[in-house]
Structure 1
C-alpha cells in the first residue's frame, strides 16, 4: 500500500532560519499566541491556520493553500497582512497541550505524508515557549 504524498493539517507554520515549524493546538487562540511570539522573535510566517504538507523525496514541505497566504487572523483585530513565505521544509512539529510533560519519556515523532517529524509538546501559557521551540529545533530537527 502506497503512502500518501500530501496531507492537509490544521496547523500554522513559521520558518525559523529556513526550517519550518508546524504549530498545532486545540484552541485557535493558543496557536495564534505562539505563532505571534515566534514571529516577534524573527520567525517568518508561512501559513496561519491550515497547512498543506507535501512530501518531496525524503523531505516534508509546508505549503500555503491557494488564496490563504500572507496574513494572520488575530483575535480582536482581524486579518493582518504580514511578510510570508510560500513554503518551508518542515523540521519540527509543536503541539500545544493542556498539560505538557515535564520530561518526555522518549523522543516523539509524527508521521505526516510518509515523513517522520520530531514533536515538541508545550503547555499553553509557558512564557519561555518561543525559546523552547528554538532550542528544540536545534536539538531535535534533522
Structure 2
C-alpha cells in the first residue's frame, strides 16, 4: 500500500487511497494549512519503541506531485511517529462512533475513512486527527 504522509504538530498523518483518489491533493491542502510534507506516494516506515516512525524515502524526499503541474519541491519534515491513517474512500460512512484500526509493521493505528470529494477535506482530516489520533508525550 502506497502512503502519503504529512506532519502536523509533530504527529504523522498517513493518507491512504487508490491511485488518483486525491492523496497528494489532500497533502497539498494540509501543507497550505501549516502541515509539513513527510513523503508522497511512498514513505519509509519502521516500528520503533511501540510507535510507527515515518520518514521520507530518499529517492523522493521533498517531492510532491501536484496534479497538472508535476513534481514540485517542498520542505521535508524529519521522521515522525504516525498518529493515524486517513483512508480516502468514496464509500466512507456518513457517521462513525469510533475510528477503525489498521496495523502497519505490527503497530495499531486509528483509521478514519473520508469521502475524497469533500470541499473541506483538509479540515475534516485535521478534525479526525484531533479526535482520534494517537498522542505522544
Query: What is the TM-score normalised by the length of structure 2?
Result: 0.91
**Distance in 1 between the 2:33 and 2:64 partners?**
16
Residue 99 of structure 1 aligns with which residue?
Answer: 91
> Offset at 1:105?
5.2
- Conserved in 2, the CA contact under 8 Å of 1:10 and 1:24? yes
Residue 128 of structure 1 aligns with which residue?
Answer: 120
Residue 58 of structure 1 aligns with which residue?
Answer: 50
- Conserved in 2, the CA contact under 8 Å of 1:69 and 1:86? no
> Is there any run of 5+ residues in structure 2 with no aligned partner, and where?
none
**Distance in 2 between the 1:43 and 1:96 partners?**
18
RMSD: 1.4
Q: How many pairs are equivalent? A: 134
Residue 84 of structure 1 aligns with which residue?
Answer: 76
Residue 34 of structure 2 aligns with which residue?
Answer: 42
Segments of 4+ moved more than 2 angstroms: 104-107
Residue 19 of structure 2 aligns with which residue?
Answer: 27
Moved more, 25-34 or 116-125: 25-34
Residue 3 of structure 1 aligns with which residue?
Answer: none
- Conserved in 2, the CA contact under 8 Å of 1:118 and 1:141? yes
